[in-house]
A and B are shown apart, each in its own frame.
Chain A
Amino acid sequence: DAKTTQPPSMDCAEGRAANLPCNHSTISGNEYVYWYRQIHSQGPQYIIHGLKNKETNEMASLIITEDRKSSTLILPHATLRDTAVYYCIVRSQGGKLIFGQGTELSVKP
C-alpha cells in the first residue's frame, strides 16, 4: 500500500474550517484514501474514505485531487472536541490499515 505524508501538527480556530492535507504520490488505481482520528487515550474513530473526487458525510468532506496524488480532509466547523491526531491512510481493497504519524490538530478557542 502507498505511503502517506502529513504535517505533524496544525492549529485551527474554533468555528473555522480545518483543512488537513495528505500527500500520497505513489497511490495506485485501486487504492482508497481513508481518514481516521484518535482522541487522546481512545481507539481510532473512522471519519471518511474515498476513491476519487469528493466524498461528504456528517463529520467531514474529503477532496481528492484529479491525479489522486493528494487529498484534503475538511472539518467544516471545528470544535474543541475535534482536537485529535488525524491519520490519512491509503489502502487497497482487503488490505491492512497501516498508520503513519498523522497530524496533531489543536482546535483553539
Chain B
Amino acid sequence: GAVVSQHPSWVICKSGTSVKIECRSLDFQATTMFWYRQFPKQSLMLMATSNEGSKATYEQGVEKDKFLINHASLTLSTLTVTSAHPEDSSFYICTGRVVLQETQYFGPGTRLLVL
C-alpha cells in the first residue's frame, strides 16, 4: 500500500507554544488529506479535511483558529496547534486519499504532550 509519513513522531512542548506537524505522502499524490485526533482509550476523531490548494474544512467543534491546516502541495499537509495547552495533548494522525482511488492510507501518528 501507499506510504504516509509524519514528522515529528513525538513532541513535548510548553503550554502556550505552537507546534507544527507535517504529513507527507511519499509515493502517491493525495488531493485530499484528513487529520484525526485520538485520546487514550478512545477512537479516532476526525478533525478536518484538507484539499490541496484550498482552505480546510473543519468538523463541528474543532476550532479552526487553533488548529491551522495547510495543504500546499499534493504530497504535503501541515497541522499547526497554536498556543497549545495540556488538553491538546493527544495522538494526531493524518491520512491521504489516493487520486482516483477510494482507499486512504494513514500516517504513523504524532504524539503531542503539552506541559
Residues on A facing B (Cβ under 8 Å): 32, 36, 38, 41-46, 49, 87, 93-94, 96-102
Contacts and interface: CB of A to CB of B under 8 A. Distances in A.
A38 B46 CA distance: 15
Given A96-B34, A97-B34, A44 B106 contact: yes
B109 A43 contact: yes
A93 B108 contact: no
A49 B102 contact: yes
Given A96-B34, A96-B49, A100-B43, A46 B1 contact: yes
A96 B46 contact: yes
A102 B109 contact: no
A32 B43 contact: no
Interface of B is mostly: strand
B99 interface: no
Interface residues of B, number: 22
B108 A98 contact: no
B46 A97 contact: yes
20 contacts: A36-B106, A41-B109, A42-B108, A43-B93, A43-B107, A43-B108, A44-B44, A46-B1, A46-B105, A49-B102, A49-B103, A94-B102, A96-B34, A97-B34, A97-B95, A97-B104, A98-B46, A99-B36, A99-B43, A99-B46
Contact of A43 (B49, B102, B106): B106
B44 A99 contact: yes
